[in-house]
């Protein structure tokens, strides 16, 4: 079989777990402790913007303290050494891929480091602590929100992501439960277009049956091993 060329990698909370950032659906995960309809929907934000800002201010503080781990570093190495395109599409709102050195990263669910004006759509770097009374630097409206894609909103960059999935020779999903759409369907989109698919996860995910190949274990072990194998050819 010829060596795969264009690689698209979908990452989820599991890749940042060993950097100390919690996952969502594992035992003790964020959505087992916090009501997502209160903190991760436009309706929740309209009801109680202070609660939502407090939630993301705390997550922003955690993310700023966290350091990229061996899995993030391995993906940065893959991008640097691979002869063709390596694209990371991440569902994560932390910036650990970028801080590990990855350059070709799309944040389909937004970023904790971004602020967005709900009135005019202007974007700017988020301060460490955001408040409902913060005014938009462009239009002055006090309707600033974290630049996060909430449930019921459309993820960022979808047309470009689907294009890249159609062109991919290899699709990998790392540290994601495969339960949130449209990301959960990327494996099928890529496979339909002819890509080989691999799941790298702590354990079999709900979507495991859709993948050609699996590697199970902690991301800090299995991702560097996989990258090493790919680069060795």
- In angstroms, the CA 113 to CA 108 distance is 14
Q: Least separation, in Å, of the C-beta of 144 and ligand OAD?
A: 19
Nearest partner of 158 among 10, 3, 26, 2, judged by Cα: 10
Tokens of 33: 């402790």
- Is residue 23 a contact residue for ligand OAD (CB under 6 A)? yes
Among 7, 9, 10, 14, binds ligand OAD (CB under 6 A): 14
Q: Which residues contact 187 (CB under 8 A, 6 or more apart)?
A: 171, 173, 178, 197, 199, 207, 210, 211
Contact 175, 11 (CB under 8 A): yes
Tell me whether residue 17 or residue 116 sits nearer to ligand OAD (CB atom): 17
Tell me whether residue 24 or residue 211 sits nearer to ligand OAD (CB atom): 24
Task: Could you list the beta-strand ranges (E) of 92-204.
Answer: 105-107, 110-117, 123-125, 144-148, 170-174, 196-201
List binders of ligand OAD among 98-117 (CB under 6 A). 109
Residue 53: active-site member = no
- Is residue 118 a contact residue for ligand OAD (CB under 6 A)? no
- Is residue 26 a contact residue for ligand OAD (CB under 6 A)? yes
Tell me whether residue 37 or residue 50 sits nearer to ligand OAD (CB atom): 37
Among 35, 81, 163, 203, binds ligand OAD (CB under 6 A): 203
Can you spell out the DSSP letters for 174-185? ES--S-STTGGG
Residues that bind ligand OAD (CB under 6 A): 12-14, 17-18, 23-26, 29, 40, 91, 109, 149, 175-177, 179-180, 201-203, 205, 218-219
């Amino acid at each position: 079989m010829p060596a795969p060329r264009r690689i698209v990698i979908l990452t989820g909370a599991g890749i940042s777990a060993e950097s100390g950032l919690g996952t969502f659906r594992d035992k003790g995960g964020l959505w087992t402790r916090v009501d997502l309809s209160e903190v991760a929907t436009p309706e929740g934000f309209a009801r109680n913007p202070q609660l939502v800002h407090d939630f993301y201010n705390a997550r922003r503080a955690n993310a700023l303290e966290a350091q990229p781990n061996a899995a993030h570093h391995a993906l940065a190495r893959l991008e640097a050494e691979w002869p063709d395109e390596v694209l990371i599409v991440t569902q994560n709102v932390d910036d650990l891929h970028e801080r590990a050195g990855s350059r070709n990263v799309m944040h389909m669910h937004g970023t904790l480091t971004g602020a967005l004006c709900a009135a005019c759509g202007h974007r700017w770097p988020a301060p460490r602590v955001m408040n409902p009374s913060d005014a938009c630097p462009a239009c002055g409206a006090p309707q600033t929100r974290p630049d996060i894609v909430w449930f019921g909103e459309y993820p960022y960059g979808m047309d470009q992501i689907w294009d890249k999935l159609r062109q991919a020779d290899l699709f990998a999903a790392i540290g994601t439960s495969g339960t949130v759409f449209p990301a959960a369907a990327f494996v099928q989109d890529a496979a339909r277009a002819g890509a080989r698919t691999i799941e790298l996860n702590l354990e079999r995910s709900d979507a495991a049956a859709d993948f050609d190949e699996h590697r199970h274990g902690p991301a800090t072990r299995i991702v560097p091993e996989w990258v090493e194998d790919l680069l060795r050819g």
